[in-house]
Chain A
Amino acid sequence: EAEVAQSPRYKITEKSQAVAFWCDPISGHATLYWYRQILGQGPELLVQFQDESVVDDSQLPKDRFSAERLKGVDSTLKIQPAELGDSAMYLCASSSIGPGQFYEQYFGPGTRLTVT
């Protein structure tokens, strides 16, 4: 069964350092999402791609966060510099608008970030 891949699964970094997360969506899924989930809360959308284009980054803290999906397949989310408040689970998801799909989202295992 096709899955969304993410790496690393866990990351510990010191504040002010740079950190990067990688996501490989399900093959053929044109839409890719990055979410941040703080413990005890629901995921919050950071950025959404349609192919290689950003369609929503309204909640992305652009002074320190950046995201790219250069070839419209895999994607990288970067934080520089990391702050203590960035400690959270970072989730990647993908979806398709193909027949019977209706943007149903499939999630990867997430990356747990701890900033010390």
Chain B
Amino acid sequence: KQEVTQIPAALSVPEGENLVLNCSFTDSAIYNLQWFRQDPGKGLTSLLLIQSSQREQTSGRLNASLDKSSGRSTLYIAASQPGDSATYLCAVRRRDTGGFKTIFGAGTRLFVKA
């Protein structure tokens, strides 16, 4: 059974700092992995999607890496800003009978201090 763990559960950093959020999964037979951002009381916004054959994806100040063999993904945020404060969730997708199954981690709550 696939389990997804995100560490740390919460993180507080000063503005301008570079930071890394971690996501680990127990079953390496994944189809892809997707990182999301969630603001309090809101839905999820897709940030980056990495296919199982890819090693990393970049969008602006964000860089996501994937190491399937070790069951890990990291989300790197460069030059953090107060507007980056949110919960960051990773979701692992794998093939299952009838289609694909998505398992989410519990998220990392990020607070960037001005």
Query: Closest CB-CB distance, A31 to chain B, in whole Å?
Result: 8
- Count residues of B near A (Cβ-Cβ below 8 Å): 26
Given the contacts A104-B34, A105-B91, A109-B42, A56 and B105 also touching, CB distance less than 8 Å: no
Q: Which DSSP category, helix, strand, loop or mixed, fits chain A's interface?
A: strand
Q: Which DSSP category, helix, strand, loop or mixed, fits chain B's interface?
A: strand
Q: Does B83 contact A (CB under 8 A)?
A: no
Q: Does B106 contact A (CB under 8 A)?
A: yes
A42 and B89 within 8 A (CB): yes
B34 and A43 within 8 A (CB): no
Q: Which residues of B sit under 8 angstroms from A55, Cβ to Cβ?
A: 98-99
Interface positions of B (Cβ within 8 A of A):
4, 31-32, 34, 36, 41-46, 49, 51, 89, 91, 93, 96, 98-102, 104-107
